[in-house]
């Protein structure tokens, strides 16, 4: 009897712990991305500027919970990947947007206004 009560209490605790551990959705602007080989672009990634300052460092959150960290280049010509050994490859800027990729993941985002603008 004691073991059955203990097991039920343990199960209830485990369920409660899992629901508390959920991570909130990231706040920021939704941008287009194509995550993984062969994926098409969709408005499912979230752009979060570090310290709320547009034009510096930023995170792009993937819909399944992953993310990548970038910085706008000093001359505003593109972005640099800040995590790992992967390099951000810039595509042509069109219609006021950058398109870039890192290790098969692709992103499109509005080109930020130059500093001081």
- Cα three-residue angle 97-39-35, rounded to 5 degrees: 65
- Smallest CA-to-CA distance from 32 within 111, 110, 107 is with 107
Instruction: Show the domain range for 61.
Output: 29-110
Report if residue 86 sits inside a domain. Answer: yes
Q: Judge whether 12 lies within some domain.
A: no
How far apart are alpha carbons 13 and 26 in whole angstroms? 27
Q: What is the pTM of this model?
A: 0.76
Residue 20 is predicted with a pLDDT of 52
Q: What pLDDT was estimated at residue 10?
A: 47
C-alpha dist (Å) from residue 77 to 3, 21, 26, 32, 58:
65, 39, 27, 20, 15
Position 19 in a domain: no
Share of the chain above pLDDT 90, in %: 60
Q: Could you report the per-residue pLDDT of 36-77, keeping only the tens digit for each?
A: 989 999 999 999 999 888 889 999 999 999 999 999 999 989
Note whether residue 71 is domain-resident.
Answer: yes
Task: Answer whether residue 14 is part of any domain.
Answer: no
Q: How many CB atoms within 10 Å of residue 101?
A: 17
With respect to residue 1, please indicate whether it lies within any of the assigned structural domains: no
- Establish if 79 belongs to a structural domain: yes
Q: Report the number of distinct structural domains present in the chain.
A: 1
pLDDT at 66: 94
């Amino acid at each position: 009897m004691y073991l059955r009560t203990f097991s039920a209490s343990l199960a209830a605790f485990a369920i409660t712990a899992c629901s508390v551990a959920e991570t909130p959705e990231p706040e920021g602007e939704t941008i287009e991305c194509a995550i993984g080989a062969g994926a098409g672009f969709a408005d499912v990634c979230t752009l979060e500027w570090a310290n709320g300052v547009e034009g510096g460092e930023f995170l792009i959150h993937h819909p399944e919970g992953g993310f990548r960290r970038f910085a706008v280049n000093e001359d505003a010509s593109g972005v640099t990947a800040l995590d790992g050994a992967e390099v951000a490859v810039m595509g042509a800027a069109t219609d006021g947007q950058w398109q870039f990729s890192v290790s098969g993941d692709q992103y499109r985002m509005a080109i930020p206004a130059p500093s001081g603008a």
